[in-house]
A and B are shown apart, each in its own frame.
Chain A
């Protein structure tokens, strides 16, 4: 496996949602859900994407797989520019790119048996039928740690962790190479989260999968990702290897985010100096001019409101969009 091979390349991606003028709103408003985001995902790696609710993580994922048309920018998958692909052109790729969703309760069709849920992608892509289809379903169930007799049952008969396994089995049915995992753990209990993480890691090493792993639980993201991107209000503000990001966070937002994680260790917790961000995330309809984080940033200075800082590689493989970090926090 060539780690340097780029599987997904996103450049200057924008996704704006327009809301129609309504009774209370006279003018049309535009939500800049994703606003000029660029990154690459190498084949076989896991790229983590973190940030607070509403910062645009899901929209990035959905725009990459063309569930939403991009407003601007370019998406290249395995060397193909798919930005303006038609649904017909996308069809063969739909096999290779799969998505696992946040809510294992809502994302499975309640009226289908587990066997049919897992078998559906096999039917859609005409991969297998009859006996062979049945065998493949059994194999998939086995792969995710469920047993053959589960095939004839319905989703409501399963626990959250088991349902997430069903979702994973379904995603694996078509032998994908790239999987977008959108908060696959947040509905699960701590002891079950670890089961699902181990399963995702096993499948990755066995099948050479590439993951985009979206989450807001930073400790799990660190565990599973090779590199991590941090988003704030539609923008990527920092991107680095997971160790670099945790040991040497450069963006003030990343620092605040890391210091906010409650640590399950009393001594560390007692000594910790927490950076408390004041206020709330501003609205993506009217984001602050210049650096979007400056309204909550304790280092903000006049230049920060004048122009938007670009992502700059300040150390090998470590990108950050902050004027202070660009200057090494001097001055």
Chain B
């Protein structure tokens, strides 16, 4: 099947007075139809900038400096804003982390869901209203016919996030980008949203890019996982590859630093030492090199290329070069 989205060698930078911040530095991945793909990585690793690049909503002074973004076969980079507007909110929808800042407080929830239906889909107001009620019911809002006339502040945090998801889905987008959709929510409400995302995955066939820093959320909903570090994808693979056969020392480190919930004995956590790098002064070598317990001389000098372990699973690490010393698995 053909991919819905193909990102190739994407470079996005922020041109600040201190210099160029290389927020996304050569990112390539593809999303198939109906696929749910997770992007994980620490704060500042470039997850949001990647997604904002796709829909061309980069804040100033951000700019795409290279690469290609093919959506349904069409190049999005340098697409005129007018055409981009037709795609955004219609064929590609995005859900942001904080539902309160993305809902307009002065319009009713119903109005906000109906607006793109009228604008993009040419529905009449009555039809749009029916559709909005249907969508609210689908995301589990009780008595949607009444709720539709209420304002965002009358909804709780979890319900606002549901409204955001309803809005994002009402135009039946081909691609949904959800940027930390559960981070601001409580655990039990987060669980409601995770179940809802799973439901969407199984019922609508929309492709989803789910951005999160929570490895648990990824393990529950995504079929494929991309691990980002300092603006690059350092490893990607199927869910089981990443959780059971991680290759990159950073991925292994991430998995080791969360406590096992089923562990009966108390074990000391194994953090990754050091801090994430400063993207202003990127060095020549592997971005993870200063924190890596297996670092070799070459790692400081040259960026590693990808080694493929299967058609879906690859990692950028010198350890897998044929001439590198063998390292014991440590997870």
Contacts and interface: CB of A to CB of B under 8 A. Distances in A.
Interface of A: 52-53, 159-162, 189-195, 197-198, 201, 216, 218-220, 222-223, 243, 246, 256-257, 259-266, 268-269, 274, 276-277, 279-281
A268 B220 CA distance: 9
Contacts of A264: 215-216, 218-219, 243, 255, 258
Contacts of A191: 42, 253-254, 257, 271-272
Interface stretch (B26-34, B55-63, B181-189): B181-189
Given A159-B275, A194-B257, A262-B214, 14 more contacts: A52-B188, A160-B43, A191-B253, A192-B271, A194-B271, A195-B271, A219-B258, A219-B261, A246-B261, A266-B239, A266-B243, A280-B158, A280-B159, A281-B186
A223 B216 contact: no
B120 interface: no
Nearest to A216: B187
Contact of B220 (A53, A197, A219, A262): A262
Given A266-B239, A280-B156, A162 B275 contact: yes
B258 A260 contact: no
B194 interface: yes
B302 interface: no
Contacts of A279: 142
A259 B261 CA distance: 11
Contact of B261 (A53, A198, A222): A222
A257 B270 CA distance: 26
B65 interface: no
B159 to A, nearest CB: 7
A223 B259 contact: yes
15 contacts: A52-B188, A189-B213, A190-B254, A191-B42, A194-B258, A194-B269, A194-B271, A220-B259, A246-B261, A257-B188, A260-B191, A263-B219, A264-B215, A266-B219, A281-B186
Given A191-B253, A192-B271, A260 B187 contact: yes
Contacts of A195: 271, 273
B194 A262 contact: yes
A261 B216 contact: yes
